[in-house]
Structure 1
Amino acid sequence: MSLNLDNQQTGGPSSAFALWQLGFRPFFLLGGLAAVILMVHWLLIYLGYMTAPYFANPAFWHSHELLFGYTVAVIAGFLLTAVKNWTGTPTPIHLPLMLLALVWLAGRVVIATGDVLPPMLVLVVDVAFLPLLALAIAVPLLKARQYPNLLIFVGVLGLMTLANLLSHLDHGVVRSLTGSGIQLMVFLVMLLIAIMAGRVLPFFTETGLGGIKLKRYPWLDRLAILALLGYALVELFSLGEQASILLAGLAFLSHAARWLSWQHPGLWRVPMLWVLHLAYAWLVLSLLFGLLAHLDWVPAVVEVHAFTVGALGMMTLGMMARVSQGHSGRTIGASRLTVLAFVCLLLAAIVRVVGGIFAGGGYSDSIVWSATLWLVAFVLFVIEYAPVLIKPRVDGRPG
């Protein structure tokens, strides 16, 4: 059920244009560019040189675009590629893929120019992408009769659509909700990472270390996912501090045990592995910080940034690098630029979380430094992987 990422280089590169050959190509490129452009915009807003478009609250705009802009682009590239592999049935390519990418781009454009557009138009255009993506993966999943994957991934995309809709209602179409769409999206992405990590991290570790065999604990996987789901529901519906503390603690312990079960000393010598394991470690830490926040030991923002910068940022960057190499026919490995990108993003997460914990006079500086390190990481990604994403596979195969 995992992506086939072990294709080997067998031929010389071609100069032809292949951006629309498979879903990961345009959406990883768009995601990388969005990570850079959106963070530059956020820095200019934070430093007082620009104002936030559409969403009156700059922090709300920042959250929305990094979740429904950057993150959704990466999810689209991953799912369109993975579903093709899982089912053996094509997902959109060429003109349909181009149109799908244009819908995503239109969402970013209307958000950026939303001050001069009717709010309902902005809502409709921006919300349209996720249902179309759900349809694009539902067709091959139905043809292959992969009903569990259909239920999980189309269901998650449906809930993400709801989260985006709620975020627009938060903005001002109804003005009856406060941050519920952003909070729902954060938990949905967290659940998606937890589910996918359970599928791919042990597999990548075993194959990347020459066929070692890790112990699997299906009961622990189920407990970790259920505990995280329970914590999400308690938080979303404000079911009480005691329930939040109990479920945050259970989610932290179960995911920590899960992460420990995947460990092997050799993986820390392989950057394409340790970036993913560190990403999952940040997810575990974000649950710990959630517990500590409910005990009033750390600010709540620490939990959010441990997940979004650490877990989400490092997992998406690591997976984009890996999928881009594997599905362009290259041998999986990290160049110096790729390793530097991983290290910069790790430092961005550390700076942002440490700054949030102490929240002293250097808090503003920690935001600027973290954002700058994020920018460096994704500029390096775009520099190294844009040619890989644009050019055909080096082995001459389609995709």
Structure 2
Amino acid sequence: MPVPRSSRPAHGKGLRSSQTQTVESTRGEALRDVDKEENSQAKRSPSSPQGAPKKRSAFGDLTNAHQNQPTQSKKEVVKGTAKKTLRSTVAHDLSKNNEINLKKSGSKSLPEEASVSSEPTVKEGLMPIKEEKPVLVQEGPVVEGASAAVQPGPSKMPGMENTEKVEEDLYANTEYAKDIFRYMRKREEIFPVSNYMVKQHDISKDMRAILVDWMVEVQENFELTHETLYLAVKLVDHYLMQVVCLRDKLQLIGSTAILIASKFEERCPPCIDDFLYICDDAYQREELLSMEISILHTLNFDINIPIAYRFLRRFAKCAHVNMETLTLARFICELTLQEYDYVQERASKLAASCFFLALKMKNVGKWTPALERYSGYQSTDLFSLVKRLNFLLTYQRYDKLKAVRTKYSHKIFFEVAKTPTLDMLKLEEILKNSD
């Protein structure tokens, strides 16, 4: 008779036998990771719901995706709950084993367990692939912000004191950084986005905004990196630029784009069933796989599209700004994802303009010759786009789409969404003096 799944070890015999030896060091690393602000921002989400990823159809009554679906019965609710419980079995087994080993290791480790479990940025009941990461953090590649413990000081970004220092982040490694970003600037010319809405007769700019707002929630629920979110939005735009889409397939395109971007950016991407679940079972597995093939063939399997998020990190490192200013620039840049009016802007120029506006909002510096050299833009090249961005911050277009603002209103993101905006006349004066 097969052994029940809940009684099986989380990672095999090897991990169970070595957990006692590694649990104390693992807990210490988890506590130190709380101080790594940038890593927390990339992988933690305060606004995402506790428990399994939230099921939601992105468009509600805007589409006919649910017209033929009967009302969910109590039996189906119980079935869905069992599915969620089954998904988190491995995570619960691992947590239970850790508690047992902690009790065996002595009473001194109990306060550490309590402090880790009470940390508000750690979610309970999420996908098991995310619960396993504290154990495997030493085995995989170093994630973003991993040098925070080496470079102390809250007023400086990790590794800011010496811009020419060779770092573990491949995109920040000065031995290759210049060539990498020169290559990314050239690739921007290969991926221009045209005004594709003129040939899309069944979808609109507002529907795209709703889709991106939902994609932000997916990124939070699955604790994906921001690079995954930005790349997924790019994939959606480039696919819609070449393929006419019906509105009931728009969420399928968005979820499939996140799946593809996750495979490209993440160490442990979510599985297909998870994407079907968060779409409220509006689509079948075969539809998702077919859409994945369609997107990849349409883009000729060339999905290494430059994104603004990477340029932002590069500019912040060159300017030696603190984490709060960089987070404000990221908030401004992420707001533009759901705005169709910005899809035709180059990622490097959009990132430079967002960073320029963040510098002025925080009054922490100006567009220096070093930034001109690293970005390739003079301050006057950015004035027009900076004004549009400030207008976007001041006058929110979509009152009901608050995923980005809610996300960046949390203390983990320094509550940058609450930063007072600049008056348009004052901004004009600042730009005039910056010339």
Instruction: Settle same-fold status: TM greater than 0.5.
Output: no
Q: TM-score, normalised by structure 2?
A: 0.27
Bigger Rg over Cα: 2
Which of the two has greater helix per residue?
1
Structure with higher RCO (Cα < 8 A, 6+ apart): 1
